[in-house]
Amino acid sequence: MALCPEDLSRRLAELHDQFQRQYPALCRIAVAVYDNESDLLKTFVHSTRGASPLRLYEAKLSDVPSLQALAETGLSRVIPDLAVLPGSLSHHTQAIRETPYRSSYTVPIRQGATLHGFLFFNATEPGFFNERVVASLDIYAQLISLLVINEILPINTLKGAVQAARVFSRHRDDETGQHLERMARYARLIAWVLAPRHDLEDWWVEYVYRFAPLHDVGKVAIPDAVLLKPGRLTSEELRVMRTHVAKGTEIIDAMIQSFGLETVPHVSILRNIVTYHHEALDGTGYPHGLTGSAIPLEARITAIADVFDALTSKRPYKGAWSNEEAAAYLREHAGVRFDAEAVEALLSCPNEIQAIQARYREDPLG
C-alpha cells in the first residue's frame, strides 16, 4: 500500500528516532526524486529537525557527475569528511557544507535499470559511516527505497493511463503533447515560488507538476463537431464543451478504479486540478462559479499555466503571442480572473520560461 508524503515523512522521522538511539550523530535522512524526462533531481521529503538546508531545490543530474555515476552503477557512496570537498562547489554541496553535517552516505533508489531518486544520510561526525554503520543502515535504506518507489509508481501509472487516452484522441485536438510538457513546467514554476509563502512542502510542488498535464482529460469525451469547430461556438456548443470538466473527473475516477489506484497519494490534488481549473476568482468561471480562495491553489496555478501557454502558442485560429503580450494579458486580469500572486510568481521567472519554451518547442514539420 502506498504512503502519502506526510506518512513517508513521518516514517522517516520514526526511523531517524530509532537510529539516533544507537547512533546519536546521525542527523538527517532525505529523499530526492528523479524525473528522467527533464533530467532533474528534486528534493521531496526529509527527516531534518528544524529547517532543511535544501528545500524546494532541483539540479540536473548531468550537472552532478558524482551522483550520475551512482545512478549508472547502482552503487552507494560514503564521503567520510565533507570538509575536504573542493572549493568549487555546486549549490547543494555548498548548502550541506554550511550545516553541522560532516559525513554522508548516499544510496540510489532504483528499480531494475530505472532510477527513481536518491536517499541521503548525514552525520555530525567525520568518518561516521564505517562498514558496521553502513551494514546496519542498508536494511533500512532498502525499506525506505521501497516506500518511495511504492509512492511514485501509482502516480506514474495513472498519469500514463490518462496520457494514453489522450494519444488516441490527440488528432482531435489542437493541444499538442508539447503544450502539456510546457504547461506542466509552468505550473511547477508557479508552485515552486508559492510553496514557501503558503508553507507547502516539496512533495506538493512535485504533485502539481505531475498532475497538471491531466487537467483537460475530459476533452476526449467531447464530440468532434464541437471540439474541432474552427469558429466561435454557439451557446449550446459552449455548454457541451464545458462538460469536459465533469467528464474529466469521471474519467479520472474510472481509471483509478479500473487500475486499482485507490492508494495514489493525494489524488485530491489531481481532482482539484481537473475539476476547478476553469473557475475564476470573481465567480465568472465554471462549472461551480467558485470565488477567491474557495478555488484550490493547485487549480488556480494550473489555470494560469494553461492560459499562458495557449496564448504564446500558435493555433489554427490564432498566431502565437509574445511572452510580453501574454504577460500583459495575465496582469490585466490578475485579481479578477486569475490569482494575482500566482501570476506574478510565473512572470518573475522569465529566464526559466524561455528555457522551457526552447526545450519543448513545437515541431514545425509535425
- CB 302, CB 312: distance < 8 Å: no
For helices 323-333 and 297-311, what crossing angle results, to 10°?
140
CA-based torsion, 190, 268, 152, 167: positive or negative: negative
Distance separating alpha carbons of residues 336 and 12, to the nearest angstrom:
42
Peptide bond into 65 cis (omega under 30): no
**DSSP 3-state of 262:** coil
The C-alpha cell at 169 is 484522441
Mean pLDDT score, 113-124 = 92
**Residue of 106, 182, 90 whose CA lies nearest to 144:** 106
The pLDDT score that the predictor gives to residue 351 is 95
73-111 pLDDT, tens digit each: 999 999 999 887 665 556 666 666 677 889 999 999 998
For helices 267-276 and 297-311, what crossing angle results, to 10°?
50
Chain centre distance of CA 127: 35
CA atoms within 13 A on the CB side of 307: 26
305-325 pLDDT, tens digit each: 999 999 999 877 788 999 999
Distance separating alpha carbons of residues 107 and 119, to the nearest angstrom:
5
pLDDT at residue 348 above 70? yes
**DSSP 3-state of 199:** coil
Distance separating alpha carbons of residues 86 and 286, to the nearest angstrom:
56
pLDDT at residue 166 above 50? yes
pLDDT at residue 287 above 70? yes
1 pLDDT tier (thresholds 50, 70, 90): very low
**Residue of 259, 179, 239 whose CA lies nearest to 215:** 179
The pLDDT score that the predictor gives to residue 338 is 98
Strand order from edge to edge, sheet including 40-46: 58-60, 40-46, 26-35, 114-123, 103-111, 77-79
169 pLDDT tier (thresholds 50, 70, 90): very low
pLDDT at residue 193 above 90? yes
- CB 23, CB 123: distance < 8 Å: yes
The C-alpha cell at 261 is 489506484
Q: Enumerate the active-site residues.
A: 219
The C-alpha cell at 97 is 557544507
Which residue is it, cell 540510489?
108
The pLDDT score that the predictor gives to residue 53 is 63
| Element housing 19 (H / E) | helix 5-22
- CB 109, CB 149: distance < 8 Å: yes
* DSSP string covering 271-289: HHHHHHTT--TBS-SSSS-
